[in-house]
Structure 1
Amino acid sequence: MIRFENVGLRYGMGPEVLRDVTFRIPEGSFQFLSGPSGAGKTTLLRLLFMSMKPTRGLITVFGKDRSSLDRRELPLIRRKIGVVFQDFRLLDHMTTYENVALPLRVRGREESSYRADVVDLLNWVGLGERMHARPPILSGGEKQRAAIARALIEQPKILLADEPTGNVDPPLARRLLRLFLELNRLGTAVVIATHDVALMDQVEARRMVLSQGRLDIYD
């Protein structure tokens, strides 16, 4: 679904922060993206989500050349990509239900057409009893699961998760990992950026390791 060929990226006139990055994300695959702090994991996720353009190289997303896409096409393609950010990006004045449903509301859908789907998804991530709560009273783990549910509500082809277990305890991290694995079994490709070696050791999955701007892949 996504292909990088010799991709490089630099900020301004500085040195390249990513150099000759080449990899593919097949449909229905599961992979970890790891590396030390400052290695460029978040930058690579931004390139995957197309919120940044590379300085050089080829990025192909769902068969389309990233460099040839115009602004009108980007939102349509991004709907196929779910993203879980480190800071959750939940809106404090909205309930958990409203936060998860927001992408569908923005698209102009009537609530009657999606309410059952949102409720089912909240139950699936274990927030069925918290759907009317607002983010300020949610725990860190509950906010994380709400962010995951919002990323999944449009049934993306691929999910990008940036340090999804970084702010939770080990039992909850394992629970979140099980959610990602179940999602993957349902057909969604998953990319998890993490520095948690113990988490990665729980799953036999491809590891993409960034170090000094270069990417090594271990199947």
Structure 2
Amino acid sequence: MIRFENVGLRYGMGPEILRDISFHLPERSFQFLSGPSGAGKTTLLRLLFMSLKPTRGLITVFGRDLSRIPRNELPMLRRRVGIVFQDFRLLDHMTTYENVSLPLRVRGREEASYRSDVIELLKWVGLGERMHVLPPVLSGGEKQRAAIARALIEQPEILLADEPTGNVDPPLARRLLRLFIELNRLGTAVVIATHDVALMEQVDARRMVLSGGRLEIHD
């Protein structure tokens, strides 16, 4: 689905943040991305999401060379990749239901065509009773689940999650992990960036470890 070959990234004239990154992301796969703070995990997720382009090397996305994809085609490709940010990025003036359905509204779809899907997804992530609540009223865990639901509403082939359990307690972290496992079982490739060793030990999955700008893979 996505392949990196000797990818490097630097900002301006500064040193390379990522160096000689090579790996492939298979269909229906599950992997953790770990490493110390500042190692470049979020930057690598942004490359996977196509919101950054590498300074050097080759990234192939769904069989296409990223460097040759016209800018106006990138939004369509990004719809095949869902992303959950560390800061949730929910809009405080919109209800949980409105936040989750926002990507579909932006695409111009009529509410009648997606309302039942949004409600079903909110129930699946445990927010069926909170769909009409504004984000400031939600707990940290509820905000996280709303952000996950928003990333899933377009049924992405790949889900990227940046420290999705960083602000929740261990029981909720396990619940969120079960959501990701179930999503993967249904066919979505999952990449979870985390420094939570206890979380990673709960799943037999590939680990990609960033350190010093380089990536090591442990299958």
TM-score by length of 1: 1.00
Q: Name the residue aligned to 2:16.
A: 16
Q: Name the residue aligned to 1:169.
A: 169
3-state secondary structure, aligned to 1:17: strand
For residues 64 and 150 of structure 2, the distance between their equivalents in structure 1, rounded to whole angstroms, comes to: 26
Shift of residue 14, structure 1, vs aligned partner: 1.1
For residues 87 and 194 of structure 2, the distance between their equivalents in structure 1, rounded to whole angstroms, comes to: 14
Percent identity between matched residues is: 84
Listed as ranges, the matches of 1:47-66 within 5 Å are 47-66=47-66
Q: Name the residue aligned to 1:209.
A: 209
Question: Unpaired runs of 5+ in structure 2?
Answer: none
For residues 105 and 74 of structure 1, the distance between their equivalents in structure 2, rounded to whole angstroms, comes to: 19
3-state secondary structure, aligned to 1:130: coil
CA-atom RMSD, angstroms?
0.4
For residues 48 and 66 of structure 1, the distance between their equivalents in structure 2, rounded to whole angstroms, comes to: 10
Q: Name the residue aligned to 1:41.
A: 41
3-state secondary structure, aligned to 2:147: helix
Q: Name the residue aligned to 1:94.
A: 94
3-state secondary structure, aligned to 1:128: coil
Q: 1:86-107, CA deviations, whole angstroms, 9 ceiling, x for partnerless residues?
A: 0000000000000000000000
For residues 148 and 206 of structure 1, the distance between their equivalents in structure 2, rounded to whole angstroms, comes to: 21
Question: Unpaired runs of 5+ in structure 1?
Answer: none
For residues 76 and 216 of structure 1, the distance between their equivalents in structure 2, rounded to whole angstroms, comes to: 31
For residues 162 and 49 of structure 2, the distance between their equivalents in structure 1, rounded to whole angstroms, comes to: 12
Runs of 4+ in 1 over 4 A off after TM superposition: none
Q: Name the residue aligned to 2:178.
A: 178
2:74 matches 1:74: yes
Code of the residue aligned with 1:28 in structure 2: it is R
Q: Name the residue aligned to 1:155.
A: 155
Shift of residue 71, structure 1, vs aligned partner: 1.5
Q: 1:148-184, CA deviations, whole angstroms, 9 ceiling, x for partnerless residues?
A: 0000000000000000000000000000000000000
Q: 1:111-150, CA deviations, whole angstroms, 9 ceiling, x for partnerless residues?
A: 0000000000000000000000000000000000000000
Greater displacement, 65-74 / 147-156: 65-74
3-state secondary structure, aligned to 2:112: helix
